[in-house]
Structure 1
């Protein structure tokens, strides 16, 4: 329970500050300018996910099973990530600065948000080791302090300038502080001097071993980002801003799903590695915790969402009130799917997860194209719920078959 509590504090601090700053931006910038911010953050997040290449989840599983190799695993993961980040920056920065149809202020802000998101992803990867070895208090301390710094810097940017460039600069500085703090803490417990001396063979093995996790994590999170991109493309920037304000509030529940995964994946992997007889019971416990948390969040969004729209965002976001029931259903379905997906990930069955994610994602994207032009943003969360229900059925079937084979073995 202590691990759960510490991860809860970490997640709450991270989520509250990130959500708080974004929602304050929604209030102060208005739907159109906030729509621009939403698209920039969404694309930057996708780039960060691609460069993560599943290294974090793979490291979480590997270190959980073999804690004595934590230093070697983390140094190889950070080096491999850098091999993806550098070419991504070389390719994308000129495109943003000279190709895209944006104003100069929007170009600069886009670069700042992209670099800040990439810096933040380094911090997230570095903190993986603390969850894997059970030192949750160190991660909690770093996240709480840097989250407060993030909130202060964004708040100052809003008060002093309230434009996209100032906000982007504050975002970059705060994320660099977060990444530096995480890497500094990591260097105190594992030897990282070998990052630049990893052999190509070691890096190739890290890429190979992380590929299934990369496809899994990438497909899961990239499909989760596509709703904002498609709403912007099919309904316009203002509609994207309204939709993003609600969907971003929903994203506040996602870190709590990651919290449970961070606690359970190493423990499940350990039981699986040692062929524990309690594996099925532990899997049922994982699913039960996800179902309970999903129900809590779903009810919260349904009842509190309209109050949030009316009393915080204001009249310009009134259309958001038509979406809260669908958002609640989507949240519950997402947690149920995650409770099954975590077990598949800990079992190393990347193909089954990947198939489910891609199949349900294709259905979701196709339905976005069919229904959003005629029904507007009201269709988007219901389509997302349909896709998540399909994913849950696939995951449930896969988990049931795996446990049945283990019992018969």
Structure 2
């Protein structure tokens, strides 16, 4: 429970500050400018996720199973990520500054959001090791302190000027502080000079072993970001700003899925690696925790959402009041899918997760293109709910089948003396299962 409490504090600090500052931006900037911010944040997050290449999830699983390899895993992961970040910056920064049709202040702001998101992703990757080895208190200290810095800097930017450039600069500085603090904390327990000593063979191996996680994580998060991008494309920047304000409130629940994943993936992976007989029972506990949290968040969004729209965002965002029921249903199904998904990660079944994500994602994108032009942003959260329902069914079926195979394998491997004797009264046909 101590680990749960520490991760709860970490998640609450991270979520409250990130969510609070963005919602204040929604109120002060208005739907149109906030629509630009939402698109800049969304695209920057996608780039950061692509350059992560699943290294974080792979490290969480690898270090959880074999803690003595933490130094090698983290140095190789950070070095491999850097090999992706450098070309991404060399391509995207000139593209933003010279090609995209944006205002001058929007160009610079977009670059600062991109660099800030990449810095933030370095910090998240660095903190993976503390979750994997059970030192949650170290991550909690870093996240809480840097969250305060983030809130203060963005608050000052909003209060002093409330323009896009100031907000972008504050975002970049605060995320850089977070990354530097995380890397410094990591350097105190691991030798970071090993990052420069990784051979090409080590880096190739890290890429190879992380590919399934990269496809999994990339597909999951990119499809999760597509709603804002497609709303912007199909309904305009102002509609995207309105939709993102509500969707961003929902994002406040997402870190709690990460919280549980950070706790349960290493533990379940460790149990499976050591062939612990209680692994299937632990699997049911994981699913139960996700379902309970999902229902609680769904009820909270349904009842509090309209009050949030009326009393905080104001009349410019009144369209959100028609979306809260759909947002609540989406939240519940998202937690259900996550409960099955983290088990698939611990089980090492990357293909099944990838298949589920791509299948549900394709259905979702097709439905966005059909229903958003016809029904506006009101259709978007219902389409997302459909996609998550499909994903939950695929994941759940996969987890059930895998654990059934594990049980059958264990029974088959038991010595004959360990098998329970059949009652003498059973006929030969009954013994044969006929």
**TM bucket by the smaller chain?**
over 0.9
Deviations 1:152-188 (A, max 9, x none): 0000000111011100000000000000000000000
Corresponding residue for 2:408? Answer: 408
Superposed, 1:53-132 pairs within 5 Å as 53-132=53-132
Superposed, 1:59-208 pairs within 5 Å as 59-208=59-208
Q: Distance in 2 between matches of 1:2 and 1:163?
A: 42
Corresponding residue for 2:362? Answer: 362
Q: Distance in 2 between matches of 1:287 and 1:80?
A: 33
What is the CA-CA distance between 1:358 and the residue it aligns to? 0.3
Q: Distance in 2 between matches of 1:228 and 1:276?
A: 43
Deviations 1:234-268 (A, max 9, x none): 00000000000000110110000000000000000
Return the TM-score normalized by structure 1. Answer: 1.00
Corresponding residue for 1:11? Answer: 11
After the TM superposition, list the runs of 4 or more consecutive aligned residues in structure 1 that deviate by more than 3 angstroms: none
SS class of match (2:196): helix
What is the CA-CA distance between 1:192 and the residue it aligns to? 1.1
Superposed, 1:204-215 pairs within 5 Å as 204-215=204-215
SS class of match (1:197): coil
Deviations 1:210-242 (A, max 9, x none): 000000011000000000000000000000000
What is the CA-CA distance between 1:191 and the residue it aligns to? 1.1
Corresponding residue for 1:259? Answer: 259
Which segments of 5 or more consecutive residues in structure 2 lack a partner in the other structure? 410-434
Q: Distance in 1 between matches of 2:192 and 2:109?
A: 33
What is the CA-CA distance between 1:194 and the residue it aligns to? 1.1
Q: Distance in 2 between matches of 1:160 and 1:396?
A: 50
Q: Distance in 1 between matches of 2:383 and 2:230?
A: 12
Return the TM-score normalized by structure 2. Answer: 0.94
Query: Within the alignment, does 1:50 sit opposite 2:50 as a pair?
Result: yes
In the comparison of the two structures, how many residue pairs are matched?
409
Deviations 1:320-340 (A, max 9, x none): 000000000000000001000
What is the CA-CA distance between 1:407 and the residue it aligns to? 1.1
Q: Distance in 1 between matches of 2:120 and 2:344?
A: 27
Q: Distance in 1 between matches of 2:284 and 2:42?
A: 34
Q: Distance in 1 between matches of 2:336 and 2:367?
A: 22
Query: Within the alignment, does 1:24 sit opposite 2:13 as a pair?
Result: no
SS class of match (1:94): helix
Q: Distance in 2 between matches of 1:156 and 1:196?
A: 38
Corresponding residue for 1:371? Answer: 371
Corresponding residue for 2:425? Answer: none
Superposed, 1:229-268 pairs within 5 Å as 229-268=229-268
Q: Distance in 2 between matches of 1:132 and 1:279?
A: 18
Which segments of 5 or more consecutive residues in structure 1 lack a partner in the other structure? none
Deviations 1:267-316 (A, max 9, x none): 00000000010011000000000000000000000000000000000000
Corresponding residue for 1:398? Answer: 398
SS class of match (1:153): helix
What is the CA-CA distance between 1:196 and the residue it aligns to? 1.1
Q: Cα RMSD (Å) of the superposition?
A: 0.4
